[in-house]
Structure 1
Amino acid sequence: MQTTFAPLLLAGLLASDGAFALTAADQYGSPAGAQFTQRTIVIDSQTRYLNVIHGETVTIRSGNGSINWYFDGIGVTFDLAKIMPAAATGQMVRVYVEPGPLN
């Protein structure tokens, strides 16, 4: 019984490998409706980083583009270009996500 169970267990684990992959939403959060935004952050050529709070919804503006974003991912720091490729202003802008009051 043990000799047939181990290969079946291994096959099941290998087959389910993709089921545990993190999505971009898991890592960074997700787009949100404008009605849910709590504040607006404007990115310009001098911006190097922005601070947000986990669970916060913000509007981010850069040049002529903007996004509304709900920060509920597991990422604590990442490049803004991960969620807003149009924000390329010639420099890297880092997003720092602080723990929210419920974290």
Structure 2
Amino acid sequence: MKITKSSVAYASILLFGTASALAGEQYSAPSETQVGALIRVAASAAHARQAARYGYASLATAERSITIDNQTRHINVVRMETIAIRVGEKTVTWTFDTLGTSSFPLSEIIPGTEQVTVYVDENPMYRGGQ
């Protein structure tokens, strides 16, 4: 089959003309329900970005486990360490990917733990020198 400039031009007109016509037909202003859902998604994403400064929830096997109770005032972790943290009946497995953060309140990642401070030590694998 011979392809000419006119057949390419005709195919382009068909392709782009159809796409723009379909796009115009599908648009409608968002409803109040959709706007509310978008606001909730944005708020959730903002919380996720904030928590990301302190690491992330992980499905990896925890290297150790820590139980938080009313007497707990601090925990010591190593950067990039994955720990199972038990608070009451719930357990969260967390990887402390915290470049540049030496301490923070545990409540930033687990609500209800305002009295606990996390102290993050640098992982020996990432220390420079010698």
> Structure 1 length normalisation: TM-score?
0.68
Please identify runs of 4+ aligned residues in structure 1 that moved more than 2 A: 23-26
- Larger RCO, structure (CA 8 Å, separation 6 or more): 1
The higher radius of gyration belongs to 2
Question: Over aligned residues, Cα RMSD in angstroms?
Answer: 1.6
Q: In the alignment, which of 73, 76, 82 is matched to residue 102 of structure 2?
A: 76
- 1:1-103 to 2 correspondences below 5 Å: 23-33=49-59, 35-74=60-99, 75-85=101-111, 88=112, 92-101=115-124, 102-103=126-127
TM superposition shift of 1:27? 1.4
> Structure 2 length normalisation: TM-score?
0.55
Structure with a larger share of its residues in helix: 2
Structure with a larger share of its residues in strand: 1
Which consecutive unaligned segments of at least 5 residues does structure 2 have?
Answer: 1-48
**Any conservation in 2 of the 1:25–1:73 contact (CA below 8 Å)?**
no
Task: Write the deviation string for residues 37-57 of structure 1: whole angstroms up to 9, x where unpaired.
Answer: 100000011000000000100
C-alpha distance in 1 between matches for 2:82 and 2:116: 18
